Amino acid sequence: GEDVEQSLFLSVREGDSSVINCTYTDSSSTYLYWYKQEPGAGLQLLTYIFSNMDMKQDQRLTVLLNKKDKHLSLRIADTQTGDSAIYFCAETPASGAGSYQLTFGKGTKLSVIP
């Protein structure tokens, strides 16, 4: 079945850039997402990218997609302490292939050191 892999932990200094990586196995993935989860809270959609795109930038967030290698990354510029959270990578197959179920990675815990 589909699988999404992420490293579990990342620690960066405040002001530096953070890069969170994700690999996936489903070649039919059409939409790839990044969600943020703060302690005790639900998931917040940060950004998403269509599989026919290579890059998407939204303020401090940059998403890079290497479809050939099935690799997705999220770069957070000028990381702040408020960015400390767990970041989930998720993918969904092509429309019509199912009920749009998301497959999540286990999440990367980002710790920002002041």
Q: What residue ranges bind other proteins (CB under 8 A)?
A: 30-31, 33, 35, 40-45, 48, 88, 92, 95, 99-102, 104-107
CA distance 22 to 30: 15
Q: What is the dihedral of CA 75, 76, 82, 86, to 10 degrees?
A: 0
Q: Please, which residue, 36 or 70, has the CB nearer to other proteins?
A: 36
- DSSP β-bridge partners for residue 43: 37
Closer residue to other proteins (CB): 24 or 88: 88
Beta-bridge partners for 37: 43, 86
Provide, rounded to whole angstroms, the least separation between the CB of residue 60 and other proteins.
17
Q: 14 or 46, CB closer to other proteins? A: 46
Please state the closest distance from residue 15 (CB atom) to other proteins, in A: 28
Q: Under 8 Å CB-to-CB from 46, ≥6 apart: which residues?
A: 33, 34, 35, 36, 61, 74, 87
- Give least dist CB 81 to other proteins, A: 21
